[in-house]
Structure 1
Amino acid sequence: MARFLVIGGFLAAVFWVFGIVDCIVQPASRHRGVPKGVWIAIVVLIPVIGGLLWFVLGRTRPGRTAEEDRFLPLDDEPGPQHRRTGFTDAEQERRIRELEEELARLDDRGDPDSPGPRP
């Protein structure tokens, strides 16, 4: 039993030191939520839990800044190309116009499968 406590304590100390070093070497642009100094203090003062918080909440994904790593609703996504649909704004507008024209043709024909009101 004592052996497991020693191994667990050693692993916790290694994780704590790794968390401190990782937090220090990351550029300030990769720290999410609070400033870099606050993250360092959290990791140092709260050994294992601070390290877990750093890796789960405070650190952004590799190659991304904190600004790029935040979650945005679909309508607020930056850039002309939306991630979910894969269509640019112009392509989406063109497709909407085509669908509206098709719906208008179906309504004019009196198609029984049309979702609009029937005459």
Structure 2
Amino acid sequence: MLRYLPFLLVLALWIYAFIDCLNTPENEVRGLPKLAWVFVILLFGEVLVGPVAWLVAGRPRARTRPAPRRWVAPDDNPEFLRSLRPDEDGPKG
């Protein structure tokens, strides 16, 4: 049973790289055209060259989340600005 583990790991990486390549938009692929990457993954997948090359050189860079917006001054905060508006129910001068 344990002797099949390397084969299954290679197969899993091969399938992951292939599906990831197919799901990546054409304009985000780096290095080669998307169709070329599909052929590289399929032809060189058995020896791990294709999938590893895709993960290292062809896959788009990881997207980072934008930092949460921090208010630097009270007048940048919309809630503070709303609190400055005169109340419609309050006394009028």
- Cα displacement string for residues 42-64 of structure 1 (whole angstroms, at most 9, x for unaligned residues): 00110121000000011121349
Unaligned runs of 5+ in 2: 65-93
Measured in 2, the distance between the counterparts of 1:25 and 1:37 equals: 12
Alignment TM-score, normalising by the size of structure 2:
0.61
Aligned to 1:42: 40
Aligned to 1:60: 60
What CA RMSD, in Å, does the superposition of the two structures yield over aligned residues?
1.6
Aligned to 1:22: 20
Higher relative contact order (CA 8 A, sep 6+): 2
Measured in 1, the distance between the counterparts of 2:60 and 2:22 equals: 14
Unaligned runs of 5+ in 1: 65-119
What count of residue pairs does the alignment treat as equivalent?
62
Aligned to 2:5: 7
Measured in 2, the distance between the counterparts of 1:60 and 1:8 equals: 27
Deviation at 1:5, TM superposition (A): 3.1
Q: Which amino acid aligns with 2:15?
A: V
Identity of aligned residues (%): 27
